[in-house]
Amino acid sequence: MIRKLLQSSLVGLLSLNIGALGAAEVKPEDAVEYRQSVYTLIKWNFAPIGAMVKGQVPYDAAAVARHAAFLETLSKMPLEGFTPGSDVGDTKAKPEIWKNRQEFEKLMGDFQEQVNKLNQVAGSGSQTAVKEQFGATAKSCKNCHDKFRKE
């Protein structure tokens, strides 16, 4: 009996420990906030390039280069925010992200590649090349949103 009790409290302690480990991991709502914040920064840096290549505001090569350089770093940040179990709460992430992780990571990789090219052409000074590559990058955003983001 005592042995049984001891055993079950040991099991209890063990699972407490696992629970504490779990709590030390990122909370789903923090992961959601993190990735949404990164996407807000991505939009902040991406939109002005669009406005310039569309002629809505005067073209400023230095600003394009700065935004593109920030984007290259930012593009590497969202993935780690899609932690296991964070398809809950105030999020537009579809559960398919966690069911079809390979496809999601492939689209994330495509996007990083397009942003990388955008950063390269931003330094070349060719407005036409930037315009083209802006379009290709925007398409990589849309490809993922269409599949993995709720309306």
How near is the Cβ of 78 to ligand HEC at its closest, in Å? 7
Say if residues 81 and 34 touch (Cβ distance below 8 Å): yes
| Angle at alpha carbon of residue 30, lines to 25 and 151, rounded to 5° | 130
Q: Which residues of 91-106 are buried (b: 16+ CB within 10 A; e: fewer)?
A: bebeeebeeeeeebee
- As a whole number of angstroms, the distance between CA 55 and CA 129 comes to 14
How near is the Cβ of 43 to ligand HEC at its closest, in Å? 4
Q: Strand, helix or coil at 149?
A: strand
34, 39, 67, 122: which one contacts ligand HEC (CB under 6 A)?
39
Report if residue 134 touches ligand HEC, rule: CB under 6 A.
no
How near is the Cβ of 124 to ligand HEC at its closest, in Å? 20
How near is the Cβ of 24 to ligand HEC at its closest, in Å? 22
Instruction: Considering only residues 93 through 122, tell me which ones interact with ligand HEC, judged by CB under 6 A.
Output: 93, 104, 107-108, 111
Instruction: Give the residue among 48, 73, 70, 74 at the shortest CA–CA distance from 130.
Output: 48
- As a whole number of angstroms, the distance between CA 37 and CA 99 comes to 23
Report if residue 42 touches ligand HEC, rule: CB under 6 A.
yes
Report if residue 46 touches ligand HEC, rule: CB under 6 A.
yes
Report if residue 141 touches ligand HEC, rule: CB under 6 A.
yes
Say if residues 33 and 27 touch (Cβ distance below 8 Å): no
40, 56, 58, 102: which one contacts ligand HEC (CB under 6 A)?
40
* Residue ranges that bind ligand HEC, judged by CB under 6 A: 32, 35-36, 39-40, 42-43, 46, 91-93, 104, 107-108, 111, 137, 140-141, 144-145, 148-149
